[in-house]
Amino acid sequence: MKKLAVTLLIMILSLPIMVNAVVWGSAAPDNINVYIFTSDSCKSCNETVQYLEDLKEKTARVVVYEMDSAENQELLDQVKENLEIKNKKLPLVIIGTNYFKGNEKELEKGIQAYLDRDEHCDLIETIQTNGDIQKCIQENEGIYEQPKEGSSFVFVAAIVVAIIAIAAIVVIVVKKKSKKA
């Protein structure tokens, strides 16, 4: 009787764990929709489209949608407005609520950031279905941090400041040694 009671107790206590495993294990992760706005006059658009198509072949969850900017101008304008994109250059790649200008390294990082998540909000789908855009942007907060434009300037400025600081320290040390001598 004690063995039966212990077995039942163990089964009851492990029930939440089993239910959780079944629920989490059965949910398939979302696809990563990658939208690329292009135009016929864009020289680098074809390269970026080809890069994304090659990447799609390697990654089953990536789905690429090529969108002509002239045919989808209203959608492109809404995307730019909501993501505060000032630059008019193409190609423009949208993943979730992040945008990319065709830089392959950043695209890979962005796609990987979304692949690492089981769920995310798709801005293009949200716009097309008249969903809550701000909620979508908030849901994706922190999935991928865009590199700041001009960050290379900040890096160069930091190096210059560091060199000046080292030079100042060397001058101080030399002056102290010359006073002792």
- Write the pLDDT tens digit of every residue in 76-98: 999 999 999 998 889 999 999 99
Let me know whether 164 and 87 are in one domain. no
Nearest to 34 by CA among 69, 58, 67, 75: 67
At residue 9 the predicted structure's pLDDT band, cuts being 50, 70 and 90, is: very low
Residue type for position 147 = P
Predicted confidence at residue 171, as pLDDT, reads 72
Crossing angle of the two packed helices 104-115 and 45-58, in degrees rounded to 10: 40
Global model pTM greater than 0.85: no
Q: Do both 93 and 135 map to the same domain?
A: yes
Are 173 and 124 contained in the same domain? no
Are 107 and 135 in the same domain? yes
**154 shares a domain with 120:** no
Q: Is the pLDDT of residue 73 over 90?
A: yes
Split at pLDDT 50, 70, 90, the class of 18 is very low
Query: Would residue 75 count as lying in a domain?
Result: yes
Number of structural domains in the chain = 2
pLDDT digits (tens, 9 = 90+) for 23-61: 333 345 678 999 999 999 998 999 999 999 998 888 888
- Higher per-residue pLDDT: 35 or 163: 35
The phi and psi torsions of 68 (rounded to 5 degrees) equal -70, 125
Asked if residue 86 and residue 152 are part of one domain, the reply reads no
Contact partners, residue 47, CB within 8 Å, separation at least 6: 102
Residue 55 belongs to some domain of the structure:
yes
Determine the structural domain holding residue 178 and report its residue range.
Answer: 148-181
Looking at residue 109, its amino acid is K
Q: What are phi and psi of 117, to 5 degrees?
A: -105, 145
CA gap 7, 117 in Å, rounded: 37
In this structure, are 39 and 91 located in the same domain?
A: yes
pLDDT band at 125 (very low <50, low <70, confident <90, very high): very high
Within a domain: residue 15? no
